[in-house]
Structure 1
Amino acid sequence: MNYIKKIKRLYNLSEDENYGFSENEMLDLEKRLNVKLPEKFREYYLELGKEENLNFSFNRLLKPDDEIEFSEDNYLIFYEENQNVAIWGIKKEDLIEDNPPVYGNYDTIERSEWEVESQTTENFFLLMAVFNGTLGGLKYNGNFMGEIEPEIVKFVEDNWKLVLEISRENQKVYSDQFHDVISLSFDQNNKCLAAFIGSSNQNRFDEILDCLDIDWSYLSYDDEDDE
């Protein structure tokens, strides 16, 4: 199952429907920037680029008409953090690759430099799908900020599969074939200090809530109660 199919399953998007920008819009972008865009970059924009919950619920995919631009240091900027604290882009010299690395720039007082966010473009889009989904993009989502017992972490490890391509030491993503996702945050001592969950399937989501004994900081059900 490739990354497009994983994202569509997670967000319950039809395999037969197109959620992307047009070929002409992408050709106009290439003409405006005078570049040939990477295959995986074009693929995502053409198939999924316009889907609101996926791309604009938290961090934001930039639109091809007038938002995607090169930075002064020649990175193609195409994604931004929801409060403009960070931006993501591809090195201009890497655009000849089909599936190039994506870099993040976390502009702070101490430093402003680019760091590898993901080794491939497709893994970056999958990572953002999970990130945005657990923070509001998926219909059912929740989070907990606080220390999580090792027994709960072990239960997740035993019952959901680690998504190696988008996991790292301080943030590990688990899934059951992308019907749902669980993302756990760790400190330098491997102590779990936060959990983020999401699914488009209510039964799957409720199973996570039943299995994990966590006093959730937020659940999407809370919004329903407010209404």
Structure 2
Amino acid sequence: MNYIQKIKRLYGLSEKENYGFSEAEILELEKDLEITLPIKLKEYYLELGKEENLNYVYNRLLKPEEVAFSEEDFLVIYEENQNVAIWGIKKDDLKLDNPPVYGNYDTIERSEWEIETQNTEDFFLFMGVYNGTLGGLQYNGNYIGEIDPSIVKLVEEKWTFVPEISRDNQKVYTDDFYDVISLSFDKDNNCTASFIGSSNQERFDAILDIIDIDWSYLSYDDEDYDEEDEED
């Protein structure tokens, strides 16, 4: 599977349906900025760019009319939900089909562009998982707190590690992209949080059955709240 297929499977999107911006909108962007978008960036905009749950529930993809260059000559394509961080591609790398993506985590201590993923495909898969477990996927949940090593071992045994979108402090696992589990680690390699998500309720419930954690939040919590509201 390519990255588009993985994302569509994770979000339960039709293989045959298009969820993107039009060719005309992309051509207008290229004309305004006097550039040609890298093949993989253009592909994402054309195939998945308008999908709300994927791109606009948490961190957000910039729409074609919002894309612009930073002062440091990075083409900014994505922003963090509180505008603390932005992601972009070096102007000099736009000639590449599948260029690296850099992040700028603007803090008091520093404001530098650091490589986020080795290529554009991995970046969009990374954001698909990240956004999905934080609300983009219909079924999602998280636990913030120390997680027993036996739980980590269980995840490692039952799900497949995804190295291209994992870090030392954040490791992603999946069952063929029907669901995802993301585990956070501190500098001593202690697991400090878990984030889970799927568009399939049975698979989501299976995760809950296997991983015995007192979850901090589950999307089911919102459903219970809505039902109580209706009763009142």
Query: Does the residue aligned with 2:78 lie in a helix, a strand or coil?
Result: strand
Give 2:2's aligned amino acid.
Answer: N
2:97 is aligned to: 98
Residue type of the partner of 2:22?
Answer: S
Structure 2 CA distance for aligned equivalents of residues 6 and 149 of structure 1: 30
The equivalent of 1:120 in structure 2 is 119
In structure 2, the residue matched to 1:203 is 202
Q: Distance in 2 between matches of 1:166 and 1:71?
A: 25
Alignment match, 1:31: 31
Q: 2:173 matched to which residue of 1?
A: 174
2:55 corresponds to: 55
Partner of residue 230, structure 2: none
Q: TM-score, normalised by structure 2?
A: 0.97
Q: What SS is found at the alignment partner of 2:195?
A: strand
* 1:107 CA displacement: 0.4
Distance 1:18 1:46 in 2: 8
TM-score, normalised via structure 1 length: 0.99
Instruction: Show the 5 A alignment for 1:84-95.
Output: 84-95=83-94
Structure 1: where are the runs of 5+ without partners?
none
Report Cα offsets for 1:18-57 as digits up to 9, x if no partner.
Answer: 0000111111100100011100000000000000000001
Q: Name the SS of the counterpart of 1:198 in structure 2.
A: strand
Aligned to 2:69: 70
Question: Superposition RMSD on alpha carbons, in Å?
Answer: 0.4
CA shift for structure 1 position 61: 0.3
Q: Deviations over 1:105-131 (max 9, x none)?
A: 000111101000001000000000000
**Tell me, what secondary structure is at the counterpart of 1:183?**
strand
Q: Could you tell me how far apart the structure 1 residues matched to 2:60 and 2:203 are?
A: 26
Name the CA distance, whole Å, in 1 between partners of 2:5 and 2:40.
14
The answer for the alignment partner of 2:217 in structure 1 is 218
- Distance (Å, rounded) in 1 between the aligned partners of 2:36 and 2:132: 30
CA drift of 1:156 comes to 0.2
Distance 1:99 1:170 in 2: 25
DSSP-derived class of the 1:109 partner? coil
Note the residue ranges of structure 2 that are not aligned, 5 or more in a row.
Answer: 227-232
Q: Provide the rounded CA distance (Å) in 2 between the counterparts of 1:172 and 1:199.
A: 17
Q: What letter is aligned with 1:125? A: F
Letter in 2 for 1:40: K
Give the 5 Å matches for 1:108-147: 108-147=107-146
How far residue 164 of structure 1 moved from its aligned partner, in angstroms, is 1.2
Question: Residue in 2 aligned with 1:18?
Answer: 18
Identity %: 73
What is the letter of the counterpart of residue 102 of structure 1?
Answer: V
Matched residue type, 1:179: Y
- Residue 168 of structure 1, CA deviation: 1.2
Amino acid in the other structure paired with 2:157: D
TM-aligned CA deviation for residue 73 of structure 1? 0.9
Residue 16 of structure 1 deviates from its aligned partner by 0.7
SS at match of 1:112: coil
Residue correspondences, number = 226
Cα offset, 1:88, TM superposition:
0.3
Alignment match, 2:44: 44
Q: Partner amino acid for 2:57?
A: S
Q: State the one-letter code of the partner of 1:96.
A: K
Q: Could you tell me how far apart the structure 2 residues matched to 1:3 and 1:180 are?
A: 15
